[in-house]
């Protein structure tokens, strides 16, 4: 069975990040008195953000009990506000190299393109509007972590995208992402190819620890993998 759907992550995979997501997380945590080094935040990039907040702060609870839902929600609101303002106003937002040409090549092969993300939908929409990807019709589907019951590493987002695309067999799907949670999401969904890319949060050595089917340095290599 040939590949009919490729699911790409957004920040660090298709869109330049420069660790602005991690910095926004750090600032939101600081606002509520949690001082966390960026090195402890970066491993949780790609997760649904409420879950990321809980995971980042769990080692800091020191027997004081779990974080309340109210505090998690407040930190998340601060993070979302920072990211929306950043993406609405920054001059730095741009596709990573060769992303748009790769989308064009996949479309020419009859393959549908989807984006998924650990961001909430409002952040993702700002990014895609700024890039003009809706207007250019470069993507067929997009889903965010707040549109499913369970975010990454659960397969909910990929399965919902498959349903939208009319794809019933995960062996016809490839997943591409820059983090451990992208890789595990693709594995949990049963994707034929689960491709790690080194343009984002994780190095090649860090990606290797999570055993993707392939690791690439350039998104153009996705086409070669699918054609092989």
pLDDT tens digits, 208-227: 999 999 999 999 999 999 99
Q: Which two tokens stand for residue 49?
A: 């953000």
How many residues comprise the chain? 228
Q: What percent of the chain has pLDDT over 90?
A: 89
Average pLDDT, the chain: 94
Considering the domain architecture, whether residues 212 and 148 belong to the same structural domain is answered as yes
Q: Are residues 102 and 85 in the same domain?
A: no
pLDDT of residue 64: 55
Which structural domain, as residue segments, surrounds residue 29? Answer: 20-89
CATH number, domain of 40, equals: 1.10.150
Bridge partner residues of 177 (DSSP): 196
The predicted pLDDT at position 228 comes to: 84
Q: Which residues contact 33 (CB under 8 A, 6 or more apart)?
A: none
pLDDT single digits (tens) 111-125: 999 999 999 999 999
CA dihedral 49, 20, 211, 2 (to 10 degrees): 90
Instruction: Using the 3D structure, point to which of 69, 89, 109 is the last residue of a domain.
Output: 89
Judge if 46 and 152 occupy the same domain: no
Q: Degrees (nearest 5) of the Cα angle 211, 212, 216?
A: 125
- Considering the domain architecture, whether residues 85 and 147 belong to the same structural domain is answered as no
Q: Do the Cβ atoms of 126 and 144 come closer than 8 Å?
A: no
- Specify whether 69 is located in the same domain as 126: no
**Domain identity same for 100 and 172:** yes
Q: For tokens 């945590």, what's the residue?
A: 29
The total of structural domains in the chain comes to 2
Residue 137: its pLDDT value, please? 96
- The side-by-side arrangement of strands in the sheet containing 112-117 is 141-144, 112-117, 5-8, 173-177, 193-197, 214-216
pLDDT in tens, 33-67: 999 999 999 899 899 999 999 999 988 665 555 67
* Domain CATH number, residue 140: 3.40.50.1000
Q: What is the structure's pLDDT at 16?
A: 95
Backbone CA torsion sign across 205, 209, 212, 214: positive
- Do 70 and 155 sit in the same domain of this protein? no
Q: DSSP letter for 149, please.
A: S
- Average pLDDT on 125-143 reads 96
Say whether pLDDT at 93 is over 90: yes
| Bond from prior residue into 153 cis (ω within 30 degrees of 0) | yes
Residue 198, both tokens: 């080194």
Q: What is the rounded distance in angstroms from the CA atom of residue 211 to the CA atom of residue 201?
A: 16
The pLDDT value recorded for residue 65 is 57
Please give the structure tokens belonging to residue 199. Answer: 């343009």
Structure letter (DSSP) for residue 192: S
Asked whether the beta carbons of 124 and 144 are under 8 A apart, the reply is yes
- What average pLDDT score do residues 10-33 get? 94
pLDDT at 80 over 80: yes
Per residue in 180-203, pLDDT (tens digit) is 999 999 999 999 999 999 999 999
According to the model, what pLDDT value does residue 58 have? 87
Whether residues 25 and 111 fall in one domain: no
**Dihedrals phi, psi of 4, to nearest 5 degrees:** -120, -10
Q: How many CB atoms lie within 10 A of CB 99?
A: 22
State what percent of residues in the chain have pLDDT above 70.
96
pTM metric for this prediction: 0.93
């Amino acid at each position: 069975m040939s590949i009919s759907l490729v699911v790409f992550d957004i920040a660090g995979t298709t869109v330049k990040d420069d660790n602005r997501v991690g910095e926004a997380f750090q600032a939101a945590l600081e606002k509520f008195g949690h001082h966390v080094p960026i090195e402890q935040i970066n491993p949780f990039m790609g997760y649904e953000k409420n879950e990321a907040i809980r995971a980042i702060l769990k080692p800091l609870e020191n027997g004081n009990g779990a974080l309340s839902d109210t505090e998690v929600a407040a930190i998340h609101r601060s993070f979302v506000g920072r990211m929306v303002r950043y993406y609405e106003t920054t001059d730095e937002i741009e596709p990573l190299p060769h992303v748009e040409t790769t989308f064009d090549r996949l479309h020419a092969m009859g393959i549908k393109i989807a984006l998924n993300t650990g961001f909430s939908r409002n952040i993702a929409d700002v990014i895609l509007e700024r890039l003009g990807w809706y207007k250019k019709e470069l993507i067929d589907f997009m889903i965010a972590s707040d549109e499913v019951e369970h975010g990454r590493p659960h397969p909910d987002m990929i399965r919902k995208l498959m349903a939208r695309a009319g794809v019933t067999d995960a062996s016809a799907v490839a997943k591409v992402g820059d983090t451990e949670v992208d890789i595990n999401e693709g594995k949990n969904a049963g994707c034929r190819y689960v491709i790690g890319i080194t343009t984002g949060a994780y190095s090649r050595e860090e990606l290797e620890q999570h055993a993707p089917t392939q690791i690439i340095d350039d998104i153009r290599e996705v086409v070669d993998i699918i054609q092989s």
